[in-house]
Chains A and B, each alone.
Chain A
């Protein structure tokens, strides 16, 4: 597949939702996924440090572009295709699934992950979307 300017592209299947997105050569999986423009895309630090965008690459060939924190991706994980979406780019079409609570949020079509995260949202449900005046 070619874009008008001739860049090589790959198609990535997001298994949770059946959606497909395009990554240009050299783009990270997360950059492509972000263009879906929907809630629940696991965007964190985009630097491989926070682990928010943990995914499993179920099929396809990919390349690691930048280092991933060992705090979140062990060498065993890497052997199983578990990587951070902000650090890898496709070399072929891919099928991926987002792991952890972000994956479940994605499936539910909501960014409101039900598991604890920072800033105490687990203390009460009422806070979601609440912008007190």
Chain B
């Protein structure tokens, strides 16, 4: 019941040809649809729904919207009512509004980001099929990401003005959409200000994360890989393709994930992320990171801040 997982992100890109090349050759996705408006839809080999990334040509980079999938159509009624009860505007958009999807709920998170909840999206199957399948397809490309794993958004945090979109989003996600908190970053006097929330509905450390920043923004979308070796191969692929690598292969303290970060040609940050870190269950005690350990939490291997990780983000 309720939200199962991330379904897709819709990204703005400034050079469609370069973007498609990146998501195909570097991340290893395949184009599964192009619509009349020029939007391109892609999926990873291990995903079964028609798409997990939509690319839209724009004069700026960043996020159009993100969509999460719920288990049943009835969940849309239940969650729609709860969102309304929470005093937030929510719209039911008809089937087809999101291409090849059933009806969906549309609303904005406290960070201003547009989110959809959908129950049905056209299924085309994994590349290895579902009848006596092989473990991986023969035409893997690039980093050969398994699936879109999560995204991280920035929420405005300005304690002096009493603004904390992180804690508002955390409350909304947990109280209204029944997400669970796996890890949190607490800063300021007595570590009383929530500056980061890692939230899950599945059994992995996060399906979405929200972190504090001067303005709302989009930080990254992350793709899943099996293990550490695949992270190193992803690094080879990024370098082969002359992609800007921001963080060399490292481990996160937060979530324990093994990671490498790069940017797509329009400056949207991508992560390829391996190792589930741990199994997250609703009864797991919440992990807390305090401000003086933040560098360790983010970049466990080096324990040093990467300046662009803070300063560079899209809308």
Binding site for B on A (CB under 8 A): 43-50, 52, 66-72, 102, 111, 113, 115-124, 126-127, 130-132
A52 with B211, Cβ < 8 A, contacts A66-B15, A69-B14, A127-B292 known: no
Q: Give A107 Cβ to nearest chain B Cβ, in Å.
A: 16
B interface secondary structure, majority = mixed
Q: Are B311 and A44 in contact (CB under 8 A)?
A: yes
CA distance A123 to B309 in the complex (A): 17
Kindly list the 6 A-B residue pairs having the minimum CB-CB distance in the complex, ordered from nearest.
A49-B267, A49-B61, A45-B267, A47-B267, A44-B312, A67-B14
Q: 7 A-B contacts, Cβ less than 8 Å apart?
A: A47-B244, A49-B267, A102-B311, A111-B307, A118-B311, A118-B313, A120-B294
Q: Restricting to B120-146, which residues have a CB under 8 Å from any CB of A?
A: none
Inter-subunit contact B267/A122 (CB<8 Å): no
B314 within 8 A of A: yes
Q: Is the CB of B295 within 8 A of A130?
A: yes
Contact B263 A120 (CB under 8 A): no
Q: Are A119 and B213 in contact (CB under 8 A)?
A: yes
Known: A69-B61, A119-B213, A132-B296. A124 touches B15 (CB 8 A): no
Q: Does B264 contact A (CB under 8 A)?
A: yes
- What number of B residues sit within 8 Å (CB to CB) of A? 48
Known contacts A69-B314, A118-B154, A118-B313; A131/B61 CB under 8 A: no
Chain A residue nearest to B263 (CB atoms) is A45
Pick from B154, B213, B293, B314: contact of A49, CB under 8 Å: B314
Interface residues of B (CB under 8 A from A): 14-15, 59-62, 154, 157-159, 185, 187-188, 193, 195, 211-214, 217, 219, 244, 263-269, 291-296, 298, 303-305, 307-315
Additional A-B contacts beyond A69-B61, A69-B267 (11; CB < 8 A): A44-B267, A47-B244, A67-B15, A68-B14, A69-B60, A118-B219, A119-B213, A120-B187, A123-B187, A123-B193, A131-B295
Which residues of A are found within 8 Å of B195, using beta-carbon distances? 119-120, 123
A45 touches B211 (CB 8 A): no
Asked if B293 and A45 sit within 8 Å, CB to CB, the answer is: no
CA–CA, A42 and B213, complex, Å: 18
User: Does B312 lie within 8 Å of A50, measured CB to CB?
Assistant: yes
For residue A44, which residues in chain B have a CB less than 8 angstroms away from its CB? 267, 308, 311-312
Contact yes or no, A119 B294, CB < 8 A: yes
Smallest CB gap from A111: residue in B: B307
Contact indicator A49/B14 (Cβ below 8 Å): yes
A127 interface neighbour in B59, B159, B291, Cβ under 8 Å: B291
Q: Are B62 and A49 in contact (CB under 8 A)?
A: yes
With A49-B263, A120-B291, A126-B292 already in contact, the answer to whether A131 and B304 are too (CB < 8 A) is yes
Residues of B within 8 A of A47 (CB): 61, 244, 263-268
Q: B311 contacts which chain A residues (CB < 8 A)?
A: 44, 50, 52, 102, 113, 117-118
B246, chain A: closest CB distance, angstroms: 8
Residue of A nearest to B302 (CB): A131
Contact partner of B292 (CB less than 8 A), chosen from A66, A67, A102, A130, is: A130
* CB nearest to A122 among chain B residues: B214
Q: Given that A71-B315, A118-B310, A132-B296 are known contacts, is A123 also in contact with B188, CB under 8 Å in the complex?
A: yes
A41 to B162, CA, bound (A): 32
A residues in contact with B303, CB < 8 Å: 131-132
Inter-chain CA distance A100–B187, complex, in Å, is 26
**Min CB gap B256→A, angstroms:** 18
Interface pair A118/B309, CB less than 8 Å apart: yes
Q: Kindly name the residue among A44, A49, A111 whose own CB sees the greatest number of chain B CB atoms within 10 A.
A: A49
